[in-house]
Amino acid sequence: MPYYQLANGKTIYLTIDQFLDLTDEDIQYLISVDYGKQYLNPFNDSAVFSQVVEKSYDFDYLPDDESDDNIISDDIPFDDIIDLTDSLD
C-alpha cells in the first residue's frame, strides 16, 4: 500500500497510477483542502503489529530424565588439543 505524505504532514493513500499522474497542482490542492489523515503513531497499520507469533510447547517429545543416565561420558574430553607452550622441535 503506497502512502504519500503531504507537506502539511498528512498522509494519503495512492495507487501507483495515481502517484505517477500526480502533478504539483494536485498536491497543492490536496494541501489546501486539508485532505489526508494525520498519523500520530508511525507504526499505525504496520506489519510489525500484525504478525503475532504464538509459542506452543509439546511436552510429549521431551526426553525422560531416566534416559540421561545411560550416556557414556568421556572423562578427558580435551585429549586432542595440542599444548602450544611446549616447543614443537
Q: Can you give the pLDDT at residue 46?
A: 67
SS3 category, 11 = strand
- Is residue 8 within 8 A of residue 31, CB to CB? The reply is yes
Domain region containing 10: 3-41
Please check whether residue 71 lies inside any domain of the structure.
no
| pTM attached to this predicted model | 0.45
Please check whether residue 51 lies inside any domain of the structure.
no
Please check whether residue 53 lies inside any domain of the structure.
no
Please check whether residue 59 lies inside any domain of the structure.
no
List, for residues 5-57, the tens digit of each pLDDT value: 898 889 899 999 999 999 999 999 999 998 988 877 767 666 666 666 677 77
Give the C-alpha separation, 37 to 30, whole Å: 11
What is the total count of domains within the chain? 1
Q: Mean pLDDT over residues 50-68, rounded?
A: 65
Question: For strand 11-13 and strand 3-5, is the pairing parallel, antiparallel, or unpaired?
Answer: antiparallel
Amino acid present at 70? N
